[in-house]
Structure 1
């Protein structure tokens, strides 16, 4: 079915019919997210938020979109659920602090060597045991999704996603598109196994147990690999963000003024 045909069909449907037809998509996304969240998170809260995202998707879907309605709705549904998680962040501050420390060490090593930061070197610089390091990686995977571009602060990061561009100003759209390309490049430069886990998890929507069966490893090991990928991506995206800020300063003369004053 073409995008235009889908749009006309949606126009003919009542809101109740639309919600009923796409409710399985909402529940599927909710249970996929639950695979990385603790039992204290109520799946019904995610479903309720996802239904709101579904209604917004139907209202905003337009014939000039290149994606199908299901693809577009999936983005809006997932975004609404992540917004709900942001508002009720249950992750202890100690977890955010440890993740920031690991991220910074990974950045330092990769900036110095130009290569992927090895676990042994990260552990050595942090002065922790391998067991403690693996627990931090597990927290990175199962905690609220890490922000890849937000500044570090006591509240931790926002969600692992690229925001929808509806309602953005032209400059915001350019910046968002730049971040999207930087994220794609960063994922493409991950170690092969981390790339595969990210693909299976975010594109194929397999859960950690299913990915473990594909790779022939335990679910806990997949959790660690996923955490490694998230930390590595966050380290690289923070570096990208700082580089973009530096370029912006030079473009406005702030960078030149700072050098003259020094």
Structure 2
């Protein structure tokens, strides 16, 4: 019989101590590509709150790679929430970027391909320079999370639901079509955006380093990054995919 999680319990205290280094690692990685005013210590503080909340809430096996993956997702999510709260303009920028995503979806269906910046700006009745300025403001706009894919905004986070069940979150993720949909969405981006995302997220270069390598200004790299992320989100959040995205594959008999 499982006990009710309680941070005053020695086992939970031990879990916090055991996984604290994971929070620091995630914070340092995230801070690497953030503006100088974003302090690693602040990210760690937010991440620790997410870690503690995850440990208190979980009712599943508290060991193994799957549990650590779950904790990492929750800690990183708490850091992202903290970053969003720092900037009072973030909410307006996110609303504007949602409109960009909707426009990208509509144009993608109409054109049968990824639309160019000029086409998106025209569809939004914006000057190209104003559209690029919006992308510049959306520098911190981050990659889609599983919670963003939930059809019902009031439902609990997907990973949290998994943690309360008998099925490992990582197993569900691997059995879902999410990876396939993400790969397909990445392939739909043009070569320049694919290279930019690879340099930023895989090789972990900073914006100015990417600009030097690609022969672009740092501000232009920032704009293209936001545009690429909006394009990914538009495809991942497409209604035709969203009905299947969180459905685990049936086991092959």
Count of residues in correspondence between the two structures: 219
Q: Note closer, same or farther for the CA distance 1:242–1:227 as it changes in structure 2 (3 Å cut).
A: same
Specify the alignment match of 1:8 in structure 2: none
- How big is each residue's C-alpha offset from its partner over 1:200-226, in whole Å with a ceiling of 9 and x where there is no partner? 111222221121122121110110110
- Establish whether residue 47 from structure 1 lines up as the match of residue 44 from structure 2: yes
Q: Note closer, same or farther for the CA distance 1:14–1:42 as it changes in structure 2 (3 Å cut).
A: closer
- Relative CO higher for 1 or 2, CA cutoff 8 Å, sep ≥ 6? 2
Cα deviation for residue 88 of structure 1 reads: 6.1
- How big is each residue's C-alpha offset from its partner over 1:135-169, in whole Å with a ceiling of 9 and x where there is no partner? 1112233346666635698xxxxxxxx95886164
Specify the alignment match of 2:224 in structure 1: 225
Q: Note closer, same or farther for the CA distance 1:236–1:44 as it changes in structure 2 (3 Å cut).
A: same
Specify the alignment match of 1:129 in structure 2: 127
Q: Note closer, same or farther for the CA distance 1:180–1:103 as it changes in structure 2 (3 Å cut).
A: same
Specify the alignment match of 1:190 in structure 2: 189
8 A Cα contact 2:142 2:229, kept in partner: no
Partner Cα distance (2:201, 2:231) in 1? 16
Q: Note closer, same or farther for the CA distance 1:81–1:145 as it changes in structure 2 (3 Å cut).
A: same
Residue segments in structure 1 that go unaligned for 5+ positions in a row: 1-12, 154-161, 249-262
Runs of 4+ in structure 1 displaced over 6 angstroms? 13-18, 21-24, 53-57, 71-74
Q: Note closer, same or farther for the CA distance 1:167–1:27 as it changes in structure 2 (3 Å cut).
A: closer
RMSD: 4.3
- How big is each residue's C-alpha offset from its partner over 1:36-88, in whole Å with a ceiling of 9 and x where there is no partner? xx84x55422122335667879x9452xx49xx8x998656534422444666
Partner Cα distance (2:126, 2:216) in 1? 25
User: What secondary structure does 1:141 align onto?
Assistant: coil
- How big is each residue's C-alpha offset from its partner over 1:16-41, in whole Å with a ceiling of 9 and x where there is no partner? 6975x768635522422533xx84x5
Return 175-184 or 109-118, whichever deviates more. Answer: 175-184
Pairing 1:206-245 to 2, within 5 Å after superposition: 206-239=205-238, 241-245=239-243
Partner Cα distance (2:109, 2:138) in 1? 22
Partner Cα distance (1:94, 1:14) in 2? 38
Partner Cα distance (2:71, 2:225) in 1? 25
Residue segments in structure 2 that go unaligned for 5+ positions in a row: 1-13, 56-60, 247-253
8 A Cα contact 2:46 2:78, kept in partner: yes
Partner Cα distance (2:229, 2:149) in 1? 12
